[in-house]
Amino acid sequence: MRDNEGCMDRKSRPERCEALHVLRWMSGLKEKEAAERSGIDPNTLSDYERGKKTPSLERLRRFAASLGQPDALVDRTLAMVREIRAALAPPGHAADPLAAARPAIDRWAAAGGAAAEDYLRKTLERLATRALAEEERCRAREAWDVLGPYPPQRRRELLAAIPEAKTWALVERTCDASVAAAADDAAQAVELADLAVWIAAGAPGGEAARGYAWAFLGNAWRVQGELKRAEMAFRRSHELWREEAAGALDRSRVLDLEASLRRCQRRLPEALALLDRALGAATSMESRGRILIKRAKTLEETGDYPAAVAALRQAEPLLGDQRNGRVWLTLRFNLAENLLHLGQHEEAEAMVEEVRRLTLRLRKALDETRLHWLEGRIAAGHGRMDEAIAILMKVRGEFASRLMAFDGALASLELAELFAAQGQPDAVKSLARQMAWVFQGQGVHSEARKAIALFRRAAEQEAVTAELARRLVEYLHLARHDPQLRFEAA
């Protein structure tokens, strides 16, 4: 595990967190049930079990008592955790890092009684393996802190000189860096995912790690718009992935990344099925929250806004301490957008201040443009026409300067709806004439271009109504990723 100063050694990691997990398991209760029984907030209990927070000894004893367990069992469980952890071999120092700890595991498992011995042994082995995985991840974070600032070729040279640094955990850390880069720089995301594939090829027992890395390379190519290469990468990932050899690697990540590709390919039922499988494979509340956000986005693209809102609401309590980061911003922004689709403008407006705070904190220019766009649509929904027009005119210009054709077309049509509602055909005509650049922009498929061309002809004939503009806006929202969807003119 990691604190603010860096990696802790295994002896200083919170034993009480592991003891709490074992005590809950021995009670036969799931995490939610134990939280209700003990009166501990579910998020706090999850933080205890994962080591993000450490319960006091007194709180650990109260927790055990609420589950009907005596003080003596708390002391025995702490002693068991301490002995097993002390016996663990350092990562990479033994073919079987649990070998030295097995006598202690067997002895403590036998002490649980014949009926529970086998299950308790497996649980203790899982806890010991998790402790080793945390240490591997900690070492990988430290290695990446060194490697990250170097240019791509120098990273490979350094790793070639210290082959023992090539571990599944460094593959995982490099893949995480690729996903983070994808928000701003698709080319960098590809470079980092390719580095992860290269590291995995040299990692001990790295076939599952290679399968994992290839999924992230497929994701990076998807972000770059290379869907055929992305498809090839996921086929390669399937060939290499071995569930039984995956170790601590998160299977749900492979599934939810493939779901993102299927969503881009408009294979939405497949995307939803993959996300359901990912939810079943997720090993943490944060993973489930992230997957539910993706599920909501997929449902939004089918036009099922109520189901999208429900999925986002379900994700909210799962994100724990991520409420100041990008995942939480994505959730809150997407929730506000879906509420707008449902005409719930007041509830969406109540969220704007939080979205603004997160956006300004993360300091991404495109995020700020999308925040202004959200504010403009909310103002329009409340009938504040002058405010909405001023904001949307600015947003439309920002999209044009970035050559973001689809978003520019949407903002222009939203403006057209407002101008048409106010009986300003000349303003609508001027907007339509200024949309010529959209036809040269990237990402606007032929059916969407036909719909925009219909709007321009209607504008020249002063025949654009607010209803027509609104139908075009609704069409473009659904057609953004669906080249086959046609606009049906009334």
Helices and strands (DSSP H and E) totals, the chain = 24, 2
Using alpha carbons only, how large is the chain's radius of gyration in Å? 27
Burial 289-322 (b: 16+ CB within 10 A, else e): bbbbbbbbbbbbbbeebebbbbbbeebeebbbeb
Enter the tokens of residue 239.
Answer: 């060939």
Cα torsion angle, 184, 190, 195, 200, sign: positive
Distance set, CA 230 to CA 180, 193, 233, 413 (Å): 18, 12, 5, 33
Distance linking the first and last C-alpha atoms of the chain: 61
Token pair 């933080």: residue: 47
pLDDT at 276 over 70: yes
Cα separation, 396 vs 405, whole angstroms: 10
User: pLDDT tens digits for 364-417?
Assistant: 888 899 999 999 999 999 999 999 999 999 999 998 888 888 888 999 999 999
User: pLDDT tens digits for 206-221?
Assistant: 788 999 999 999 999 9
Q: Any idea where the domains of the chain sit in the sequence?
A: 2-142, 321-396, 403-490
Cα separation, 107 vs 116, whole angstroms: 13
Contact (CB, 8 A) for 101 and 84? yes
Q: Tell me the CATH number of domain 2-142, given options 1.10.260.40, 2.30.40.10, 3.40.50.740, 3.40.50.720.
A: 1.10.260.40
Q: Amino acid identity, residue 152?
A: P
Give the pLDDT band of residue 8 (cuts 50, 70, 90): very low
Q: What is the mean pLDDT of residues 118-125?
A: 62
pLDDT at 288 over 50: yes
- DSSP state letter for 427: H
pLDDT at 196 over 50: yes
Higher-confidence residue: 241 or 273? 273
Total-model pTM: 0.70
Cα separation, 252 vs 289, whole angstroms: 12
> What are the residues facing 7 on neighbouring strands?
2
Residue 10 is predicted with a pLDDT of 41
Query: Coil, strand, or helix at residue 426?
Result: helix
